[in-house]
Chains A and B, each alone.
Chain A
Amino acid sequence: MTESATGPLLQVEDLAVEFRTPYGVVRAVDGLSYTVEAGRTLAIVGESGSGKSVSSLAVMGLLPTPPARIAGGRALLHGRDLLTLPAKEHRAVCGDHVAMVFQDALAALNPVHTVGWQLTEALVARHRIPRRDARKRAVELLDLVKMPHAQQRVKDYPHQFSGGMRQRAMIAMALAMDPEVLIADEPTTALDVTVQAQIMRLLAEIQAERRMGLVLITHDLGVVADVADEVVVMYAGRAVEQADVFSAYGSPAHPYTKALLASIPRLDQKGGTLDVIPGRPPEQGSFPDGCPFHPRCGYAQDVCRSNPRPEPVEVAPGRYARCHFAADVMADREPVALTKEVR
């Protein structure tokens, strides 16, 4: 793993986000840390409700702060903590350096403004570039994402684009301010499989060209394997495993990761039943004591069922897993019953 020359672009440390709900206070994200570096792709993987989207929205300052609250942690952009900035400045700083691409392009784009207007909206409003330059820039941006007939399409409205084209437009819009970090929240979930591949390839090309840091939020393990350098696996608001993709897929160090990988149907295995993870992810606000995964875990022992929750274990340089038996899981061994002092 090569160190980037300029240091990490975005560093999230111990991020915790709480929501106030009618049922009490819920921790949607608990102690999440990751680093985004230039030219590298970090994938955040998890089921719905695991907190993967919420964490990015928190970093960007897009969570509505009456129900939501940043309960702790830092988000360092070039060394500056975004979370301590007042909302207006937070978003302004983010807007210049971190861009976000959302899942549903049709809902994420304003139906009453042309795509061209939306592409350069931030440039015009914040940097006051003249209209003619803005129009030229909009066409350039569409060319960047390989949109055919860019000159005409700048004047079109979002509903006039197909799904894949709309997603390209959104990516173009994200690139307008030349961001260093791009967060893509499920960019291909709403698209056909063939279009998915095109969009992912486009993202990869753009990232390589601009040496951006890419954060890819997804639940699609296949895409992760294809595109990501590092992966963070989230469960119940916590990062249960963090590793480079190769190691995580080859020798997962957390039972959840292992079970996820095992449940992917494989073309080279015939017959039999699919391996599923029994049970369902816990409801927000009703997490069990101890490790949140223990009710569904094949490796669960007594220590797992009681507090304190497992802390991250460094199973290899740069690899972490929140499991009392991480080493055993990684080595594919039966867990040895542990007493509390031994980690």
Chain B
Amino acid sequence: MTDPNVTALVAEETHQVPPGGAPAPRGSRSIWAEALHTLSRRPTVILASLVALFFLVVVVLPGAFTSTDPQRCDISQSKIHPQWFGHPHPFGTDVHGCDVYSQLVHGARPSLVLALLVVAVSVVIGMVLGLLSGYYVGWVDAVVSRVIEVFLVIPLLLAALLVLSLFKGIDTGNGTFGSIVQPAIVLTAFAWMGYARYVRASVLETKNLDYVTAARVLGASDLRIMVRHILPNAIGTVTALVPTAIAGIISTEAVLAFLGVGVQPPAISWGIMISNGAPWFLGGAKYLLLFPLGCLVATVLSFVVIGDNLRDALDPKLR
């Protein structure tokens, strides 16, 4: 009895059927569709997605939410308690007279852009290295595995603290990109290993399956085999990790900013707001801590709920 995957594959590789025109290996499409179906039924996931989407919109279009400049601070207006919407300072002002609401809106950007950037790049690096080391094995694998182990042994936060402390004096500019480039580089450098390992394991698993061997026999190039036949299997696990990773980086940035080594003033981020606001919690200005903390919690929570549910939906073993 022929494996239907092999039949479809032969048709595709011998160009009797255009790529993508052949029925996808029965596994992949149904897993995704099924996962999406399961997830769209869960109210918690829907809610979380809406929240995450909301914050993404805030990042992209801060101007739509506020026209106040967060850096224009009037010291005579300091420590005004929240006046709520309809007033010039809906969430109040901080010690220096800067408007809290606009700080929140603009502070979303470094956190989220950093998280998305770091995760995107580290996923790509991890997948490429994982693919190469799993596919070619031999010394490529030995080297990559050793590198992975070395990086893994140094905890992410610690590496970031060390490197950023050392590079503290260096000025990289104030724009969105400039204020996050240092943490971005460090966090990416220590975040790719997990993906590399998953992908490598997935490659090792799938590379000896019948339909891959069939593709090779039919003369498909290495690259083609890797991308078209092996990668789709690995993508599932990796995708499930992405939302949780984003949440992790958002909160790591908050820690770094809290300690003064993340995004640097005068740029604003939620971590900096928390750092500034914490001492005022008992000093009569609870809102200075609670607003940025609340935003942080909401964003992180939503990404993690999405990520965990996605992972559960894609993992057959957890059923």
Direct contact of A and B (CB under 8 A): no
